[in-house]
Amino acid sequence: MSKLSEKFAAGKKAVVEREAAERAGLAVQETLVSSPAPARVAGPSHGAVSTMKIEMLKGEVEMLRQGNPEIKIDPKEIRQSEWSNRHEDSFKSAEFAALKDEIKSAGKNAQAIKVRPIKDPQDGFKYEVVFGHRRHRACLELGLDVIAVIDDLDDKALFIEMDRENRQRADLRPYEQGVMYARAMDRGMFPSIRKLADDAGADSTNASRVISLARWPATVLDAFESRLDVQYRWIIDLIPVLEKEPDSVLARAAEISAKRAAGATVTSQAAFSALMGKLEKPVALKPKVLKVGDRVLSVSERNNKVSFVLDKLDKSKLAKIEKYIAEVMAE
């Protein structure tokens, strides 16, 4: 075949592929226009909202246009990215459990993950996750091949794609995003937080705040039930307090951890209030349960007050208990 013929054949192939991609894109658009908007679902399946589905479909069309076919890969051949921003707690959440159930029911991950090839494969790993860590983890735990597309990206392109995809799915927590951004700044990937935000299409103010969160002392972060519980508004309120009175905040954080270790229940909301110095005693001890035969007595302590909850008694027994409590209080 002459060079001219080869060039013509290559050009024809490109046109065919482009037309196929455009047809796929048109089909998606027609589906989105003709189909009624899905109802918003509350609870763990909150991710299944219309905006997310549109973004997923757009992503699939873009993969077709880029010529990246979806293939099945053994999840054991894929490793987490060094830029992975998923905290281990995110794999224990109701959202992850719902995602895992969905994949198990379908027998595959409906939305493909993206991976990049490893230049020097080691320990059986051939690929690295670009985005889709939770879908990869779910398939790994279920023993299913993971549907993926392969794209050879450098670190910066991987970082930007991972961040944008996670923000589109709206399920990344401030702490997870902060860890990712802080790691990129520490590696010198971006000259400034503003440049990072510009390249990633993120808000520079929020980027600065989540990076600050990721750099908080471990004692403060561990005061929360989970670091994933920290909300943006808490970051805004705590930053100036940490800067003005760091020793006081650290002391409050240590006290919270000590009470929790002693069996107290301290919610993340209560921990935040305590760190801010709003409540002196933001904790409630777990109720003590005493059983006598079929009778149950529950004793709760909160803010220097004690509450007794017991089974219904006849008037004579209740009178005896009231008399005994009165005698003890009079001592």
pLDDT over 50 (residue 1)? no
Q: What is the mean pLDDT of residues 257-274?
A: 92
Indicate whether 256 belongs to any domain.
no
Output the CA angle 155-88-94, nearest 5 degrees: 120
230 in a domain, yes or no? no
Of 172, 206, 224, the domain-final residue: 172
Q: What is the pLDDT of residue 192?
A: 95
- Kindly report the average pLDDT of the chain as a whole number: 77
pLDDT at site 21: 45
Does residue 292 share a domain with residue 161?
no
The last residue of a domain, from among 157, 172, 187: 172
Confidence of residue 103 (pLDDT cuts 50, 70, 90): very high
One domain, residues 154 and 298: no
Residue 42 structural domain: 12-172
Structure confidence by residue, pLDDT tens digits, 162-201: 888 777 765 678 998 898 899 899 989 999 999 999 998 8
Q: What pTM was estimated for this model as a whole?
A: 0.55
Give yes or no: residues 30 and 167 share one domain: yes
- Looking at residue 12, its pLDDT comes to 43
Same domain, 168 and 290: no
- Tokens representing 271 are 């921990």
Q: What is the pLDDT of residue 95?
A: 81
What pLDDT is stored for residue 282 in this prediction?
43
* Whether the predicted pLDDT of 240 surpasses 90: yes
Residue with tokens 């939770």: 134
Of 172, 194, 228, the residue at which a domain comes to its end is 172
Please give the share of the chain, as a percent, with pLDDT higher than 90. 39
Given a cut of 70, is residue 247 above it in pLDDT?
yes
Mean pLDDT, residues 144-173: 84
Top pLDDT among 64 and 183 is at 183
Question: pLDDT digit string (tens) for 194-229?
Answer: 999 999 888 999 999 999 999 999 999 999 999 989
Residues 25 and 163 in one domain: yes
User: Are 19 and 164 contained in the same domain?
Assistant: yes
Range scoring the smallest mean pLDDT among 1-15, 26-40, 269-283, 305-319: 26-40
- Distance between alpha carbon 156 and the CA centroid of its chain, in Å? 22
Task: Please check whether residue 221 is in contact with residue 227, taking contact to mean a CB–CB distance below 8 angstroms.
Answer: yes
Q: Is residue 187 part of a domain?
A: no
Judge whether 248 lies within some domain: no
Domain membership flag for residue 54: yes
Other C-beta atoms closer than 10 Å to the C-beta of 297 total 15
Q: Does residue 192 lie within any of the structural domains?
A: no
Whole-number pLDDT of residue 66: 53
User: Which strands sit side by side in the sheet containing 113-122, from one edge to the other?
Assistant: 71-73, 146-150, 113-122, 125-131, 78-79
Look at residue 237 and tell me whether its pLDDT is greater than 80. yes
How many domains does the chain contain in total?
2
Q: What is the pLDDT of residue 78?
A: 94
- 83: in domain: yes
CATH number at residue 140: 3.90.1530.10
Rounded mean pLDDT of 139-154? 93
Tell me the pLDDT tens digit for each residue of 71-80. 999 999 999 8
| Residue 275 lies inside a defined structural domain of this protein | no
Residue 82's pLDDT band (boundaries 50, 70, 90)? confident
